[in-house]
Structure 1
Amino acid sequence: MKIVKVEAIPFAIPYTKPLRFASGEVHTADHVLVRVHTDEGLMGTAEAPPRPYTYGETQESIVAVIDKIFAPQILGLTPLEREAVHDKLDRTVGNPAAKAAVDMALWDILGQAAGMPVSGLLGGYTDRMRVSHMVGFAPTDEMVAEALRIRDTYGITTFKVKVGRQPYRADVDACRALREALGPDAGLYIDGNRGWTASESARALREMADLGLTFAEELCPADDVLGRRWLVAQSPVPFIADESATRAAEVTRELLGGSATAISIKTARTGFTASQRVLHQCEGLGVEVVMGNQIDGQIGTLCAVAFGAAHRTASRYPGELSNFLDMEDDLLAEPLTIEGGTLRIREGAGLGVDVDPAKLARYRQDR
């Protein structure tokens, strides 16, 4: 079974409201549907969400690098030759979302060929994950109202709060209001997207010390090497490296350098193959992981829950699996559903991605 065709189809679906955070804001899911075809008729599917303000990728660059560089390099290889595929992809610097989508599409093919769910091939630990929901920048009363709506509608009780605004007091007040509204048993953690300095982060954490935060994530830039080490050394909560740890070597740097004490794994950034390397590396070093989200659509979320549910360590904490709730529509023929605060993997062979042709025709941008 050989790879005979690779498609990169740009599509755009609006969000019901802008998603705002320290490093930017998103109004439309300008993503890329990636399909890998084999000579035996199997087709693997994944989603590449570009984040130009974080990794430099755009929708146009993802389509171009797959069409012009990646596809010609991997045609003729088999889906089992993942190391050979990555050897070729890694000759091109960067482009993490494009590489990840190709990798996950290959795993989708392997699952279909084996007649097994991809989550089972990866580890098969459980069939679902608890879900955490991201609350973006907004007036405090709106942030509280959203969290309560999500809790009451979907049973989600863990919330990731975007912080990093200037002055930091607005974020401290918002987190305090969320804790009061949600109660002491709700999970609450913060993500700064590099919006604060190390000293601002330290002051904010001190003022939130009584809120029972589970994690703090990327409060200040990784390039602030000494400041970040100083911050993490005194942080009262585990400090997650996210966009500063996009591959295994960066994970090593952040952890051994004292710039983080936990890692966010995003399948949209490292696919399944590299995500397993990162996960096993973290297990070997004795640090915790969370399943992050790159503001994925439902296809990307399906990939994230497949990986997270496959592994004991990755499923320990609720995964960020609900951003698709803010999209006006999606491409799946059967939408994902969050019930009782959990999201299940799809049963059947592969990833269980079934794209609605009418929706794809409506939202694709290349026709």
Structure 2
Amino acid sequence: MKISAVEAIPFAIPYTKALHFASGEVHSAEHVLVRVTTDDGVVGVAEAPPRPFTYGETQAGIVAIIETIFAPQIEGLTLLEREKAHSRLGRTVGNPTAKAAIDMAIWDALGKTLELPVSELLGGFTDRMRVSHMLGFDEPAAMVAEAEKMVDTYGIRTFKVKVGRRPFQLDTAGVRALRERFGDSIELYVDGNRGWTASESLKAMREMADLDLLFAEELNPADDVLGRRWLVEQLDLPMIADESVPTAADVTREILAGSATAVSIKTARTGFTTSRRIHHLAEGLGVEVVIGNQIDGQIGTACAVAFGSAYELTSRRAGELSNFLDMSDDLLTHPLQISGGQLVTSSAPGLGIEIDETRLHHYRLDNK
């Protein structure tokens, strides 16, 4: 059960369309496949999606930090020494998705070794989650058309709408068009990716006050300390902290400071080990939780649903588990399937996924 090798393999898969939001845009999934191999020949996998405009990580940076710093620290540990691995990775500042991918690959390898699904090792509350789909910047008619496709094809009825443009009416018009088209048959919430000021956020939310939104997420910057507290006081719906809470300590700060009232857990950012800490903290504080998405591919989505389904708190709300539908291809031998608005976890050991080596060879960027 000792870790004998940690690999970081860069790959790129184009999106069928560019994804646009307040903090940037993405045209292809330029991610990193992380593989942890044990001396028994077991291989655990996970996916690191760099988001330089959010966390400062790049694809090349993730590969470099894993190969030069993290791999030497982790190799030689057993799969059961996850807290020791967490401590060693924590010596280095930043690099959240690189650390998260290593952590989840270790859990995948452990599940395969014990012949148990990761979702059961984590908690095993349920075997499925409702799915929320993200709608990026677009014209109202195009957003409605995409939502209609998601409803008709996959049964998805929860939508996260990206906002944060100026003037804010560009975005509120789209949210209103969705509500008018579907009525109360769908759930809606908005995500500003820190694009507005506090005063702009309040004006936009008042304009959407009659649309029965579930949440508002990161409408204004995390360093707008007084503005965030003021905004939370003005709103009558939960404010989700996302990019502002990459650690459990950040969650504590934002919630106790009154700057947020709910939390987004992204396994791509906090792995399974730190995500458990955040979940337990949120549970103890009585804070609502949403399973977020780092624009993950199917590997990352398998990780997210494994964690989200493991606990009652995280499985109450629809999880953001559908962004892989915007990718032109993926790396799995058996693709994930969304049906009836739900994604079911695998009952196979580990994460229950298998890498298609032919696809990996085609999309990898290191020519190995």
Q: Which residue of 2 aligns with 1:130?
A: 130
Report the alpha carbon displacement of residue 352 of structure 1 after superposing the two structures with TM: 1.0
Deviation at residue 220 of structure 1 after TM alignment: 0.2
Corresponding residue for 2:104?
A: 104
Query: In the TM superposition, what is the alpha-carbon distance from 1:185 to its structure 2 partner?
Result: 2.8
Q: Deviations over 1:132-181 (max 9, x none)?
A: 00000011111111111111110000000000011001111111001011
- CA deviations on 1:314-366 (whole Å, 9 max, x unpaired) are 00000000000000000000011100000011121110120001100000000
Q: 1:209, 1:236 within 8 Å by CA — same for their partners in 2?
A: no
Partner of 2:121, secondary structure, is helix
Written as runs of structure 1 = structure 2, the 5 A alignment for 1:1-367 is 1-367=1-367
Give the partner amino acid of 2:355.
Answer: V
Aligned with 2:264: secondary structure? strand
CA distance in 2 between partners of 1:329 and 1:288 (Å): 34
| Equivalent AA in structure 1 for residue 290 of structure 2 | V
Q: Could you tell me how far apart the structure 1 residues matched to 2:195 and 2:72 are?
A: 40
Amino acid at match of 1:112: K
Alpha-carbon distance between aligned partners in 2 of 1:203 and 1:138, rounded to the nearest angstrom: 21
Percent of aligned positions that are identical: 68
Q: Partners in 2 of 1:336 and 1:85 — Cα distance?
A: 29
- Tell me how far apart the structure 2 counterparts of residues 236 and 175 of structure 1 sit (CA, whole Å): 18
Distance in 2 (CA, whole Å) between partners of 1:89 and 1:328 is 33
Q: Is the 8 A contact 1:205 1:236 kept in 2?
A: no
In structure 1, C-alpha distance between the alignment counterparts of 2:286 and 2:347, rounded to whole Å = 32
Q: Partners of 2:356 and 2:75 in 1: how far apart?
A: 26
Specify the code of the residue in structure 1 equivalent to 2:287: V
1:75 Cα shift?
1.1
Secondary structure of 1:351's counterpart equals coil
C-alpha displacement of 1:84 = 0.8
1:15 match: secondary structure? strand
Number of aligned pairs? 367
Distance in 1, Cα, partners of 2:276 & 2:83? 13
Secondary structure of the 2:8 match is strand
Which amino acid in the other structure matches residue 21 of structure 2?
F
TM-score (norm 2): 0.99
| One-letter amino acid of the counterpart of residue 261, structure 2 | T
2:37 match: secondary structure: strand
> What are structure 2's unaligned runs of at least 5 residues?
none
Q: Which moved more, 1:250-259 or 1:106-115?
A: 106-115
In structure 2, what is the Cα distance between the partners aligned to 1:37 and 1:356? Answer: 17
Q: By how many angstroms is 1:237 displaced?
A: 0.9
- The CA distance in 2 between the partners of 1:171 and 1:237, in whole Å, is 18
Summarize deviations over 1:95-121 as a string: whole Å, max 9, x none.
000000000011011111111100000
* Alpha-carbon distance in structure 2 between the residues aligned to 1:276 and 1:84: 16
CA root-mean-square deviation? 0.6
Say if 1:245 and 1:251, in contact at 8 Å, map to a contact too: yes
Question: Contact conserved, 1:272 with 1:307, CA < 8 A, in 2?
Answer: yes
CA distance in 2, matches of 1:242, 1:211: 22
**Whole-Å separation in 1 of the counterparts to 2:74 and 2:298:** 26
* Gaps in structure 1 of 5+ consecutive residues: none
Runs ≥4 residues deviating over 3 A:
none
